[in-house]
Amino acid sequence: METKNIATLKNKYFLLRHGQTKYQKEKIGLIYSKDEYFSLEITEEGREKIKEQAKKLKDLSAQAGKKIDFIFSSPLLRAKQSAEIISNVLNLPVTYDERLVDMKMGEFAGKPTLVYDDFFITKKLGMAERPKDGENWVDILKRMKDFLNDIESKYQNKNILIISHGEPLWILAAYFNGAKTVDEFLATRRTKENNLYPHTGDLIEI
């Protein structure tokens, strides 16, 4: 898998995971159901953290070369609610793109998160197989790269905010840090030394 060199990017990217939902607050331990994949809302705590990130982004905008020029977001409700908060603070419109949606879990939807861990992490099938009607890491990376390539072809010297979900943002960040194999991707997840997997409301600069 060919890896993009950060130095060759025409724009600077800020990656923001949507605000906290009840799944994170209550530590439910289940993968989103098919219905909640689309309809899940962020909590009040989630809103507050996104507001804090919006303020940080606004403060950044006062620095030379740090002003956010465009906001792109997943259209799923939890990301949309987060994007609207950022949009109001930065006074910028949001462009929604289906390629930024959360990982499609297929037959794993509604099952314990241990099912995901066993398939993708313990058995390391993230780049070789996929759950029925779902995606694997290669699928996610492909659509995220397609989105990024479109942005790179349209703009240069811009600061782009991307609001998405845990798996897509982690995979994109790991890719930019040189990950190519399953083990290299896993080395950037759930490790203290090089953890690129964002908690809800976390912001990553690349």
Q: Who wins on pLDDT, 206 or 162?
A: 162
Give me the pLDDT at residue 4, please: 52
pLDDT band at 97 (very low <50, low <70, confident <90, very high): very high
Confidence of residue 5 (pLDDT cuts 50, 70, 90): low
pLDDT tens readout for residues 28-62: 999 999 999 999 999 999 999 999 999 999 998 77
For residue 54, the model assigns a pLDDT of 97
SS3 percent helix, strand, coil of the chain, rounded to 5, is 45, 15, 40
Q: What is the pLDDT of residue 79?
A: 98
Residue with tokens 């993708």: 120
Residue 193 pLDDT greater than 90, yes or no: no
Alpha-helical segments (H) within the chain: 22-25, 34-39, 44-61, 77-90, 113-116, 137-154, 166-176, 182-186
pLDDT on residue 7: 60
What domains are defined for the chain?
10-205 (3.40.50.1240)
In residues, how long is the chain? 206
Query: Which of 72-86, 137-151, 190-204 shows the lowest per-residue confidence on average (mean pLDDT)?
Result: 190-204
pTM above 0.75, yes or no: yes
8 A C-beta contact, residue 53 and residue 88: no
Residue 164, token pair as written in the block: 């998405």
